[in-house]
Amino acid sequence: MSVATYDFAIVGAGSAGLIAADFARKLGVRVALLERERIGGDCTWTGCVPSKSLLRVARLAHDMRTASRFGIGAHVPDIDMVRVREYLRSTIAQIYEGTTPAALGRKNIDVLLGPVSFVDAHRLDVGDRHIRAKKILVATGAAPAIPAIPGLTDVPFFTYRQIFEHDRLPERLVVIGGGPVGVEVAQAYQRLGSRVTIFAERLLAKEERRHRRSFRASFNARVSNSSESAFFPSSARASELWRVRSSRPSSAICSSSRRDDGRCSTA
């Protein structure tokens, strides 16, 4: 049985794994980067890149609606979510281009794709391949955390892993979770024209109070008849969330996440 030997093996090729691999190569060590799914992880595919791209689209839509403050004729933009999705995909592809197995190989980083399992403290199996490493870094990231809200599984919902592939603009959107991901999605869809409601114990709990107040005031401001929004504490049942303001929302997103269990699983 052939066993490749490395100085450093990294399990997980998300943003942390990619940075670690690049830094290790600069130190002159032999590196193996192991990934079960897609290189880039959440940041490239379902996090930083698509979320910031969606926020850019939403900012343009907001500026078109409020252009009169600059002396420019304002109007309600026509939002084509299929084309918005195409734009998000193009930005993802642009970022991914620099992290393909071929691109990483040119940096002398060996990329091994497949399910990963530990044999012992220094040996790993990657699919049908076997490697040994002096040091191993586990950087398997996070996965969506579905809250235990009674009735949630009975209604359709997205997590951050599906929302950026959505090709329709919902009339109403409920966001469960007031952290950075939930707030980004809420603001983006509000500015695109959805009526958005956030349910969370606190908005942006880790941010300074003045920033939380600023966002809450901005989010609750009624920009137009098609984008009214609100924030509520998260003490309601899913059936109550679904009936917010006596109008059935088109979609819901659970925006919280949990750390992985360290067993190379992102499900």
pLDDT digits (tens, 9 = 90+) for 83-93: 999 999 999 99
How do the domains of the chain map onto residue ranges? 4-39+100-140, 144-259
Give pLDDT, residue 260: 45
Give pLDDT, residue 94: 97
Give pLDDT, residue 73: 95
Give pLDDT, residue 258: 57
Task: Report the distance separating Cα 5 and Cα 246, nearest Å.
Answer: 62
Q: What is the pLDDT along the chain (267 residues), one digit of tens a residue?
A: 789 999 999 999 999 999 999 999 999 999 999 999 999 999 999 999 999 999 999 999 999 999 999 999 999 999 999 999 999 999 999 999 999 999 999 999 999 999 999 999 999 999 999 999 999 999 998 888 888 888 888 888 899 999 999 999 999 999 988 888 899 999 999 999 999 988 888 888 888 989 888 888 877 764 333 444 555 554 445 444 444 433 444 566 766 665 443 322 222
Give pLDDT, residue 216: 80
Task: Report the distance separating Cα 179 and Cα 109, nearest Å.
Answer: 35
What's the fold here for domain 144-259?
Answer: FAD/NAD(P)-binding domain (3.50.50)
Same topology, domains 4-39+100-140 and 144-259? Answer is yes
What's the fold here for domain 4-39+100-140?
Answer: FAD/NAD(P)-binding domain (3.50.50)
Give pLDDT, residue 84: 98
Written as six digits, the tokens of 261 are: 């269990």
Give pLDDT, residue 237: 52
Give pLDDT, residue 222: 46
CB 68, CB 74: distance < 8 Å: yes
Give pLDDT, residue 23: 97
Q: Exposed (0-12), middle (13-18) or buried (19+): which is 106, by Cβ within 10 Å?
A: exposed
Written as six digits, the tokens of 80 are: 């084509």
**Type of residue numbered 182:** G
CB 198, CB 178: distance < 8 Å: yes
Give pLDDT, residue 221: 60
| Phi and psi torsions of 160, nearest 5° | -65, -10
Give pLDDT, residue 124: 98
Instruction: Name the E strands within the chain.
Output: 4-11, 31-35, 109-113, 116-118, 123-126, 129-138, 142-144, 158-159, 172-176, 195-199, 229-232, 251-254, 257-259
190: nearest Cα among 249, 248, 235: 249
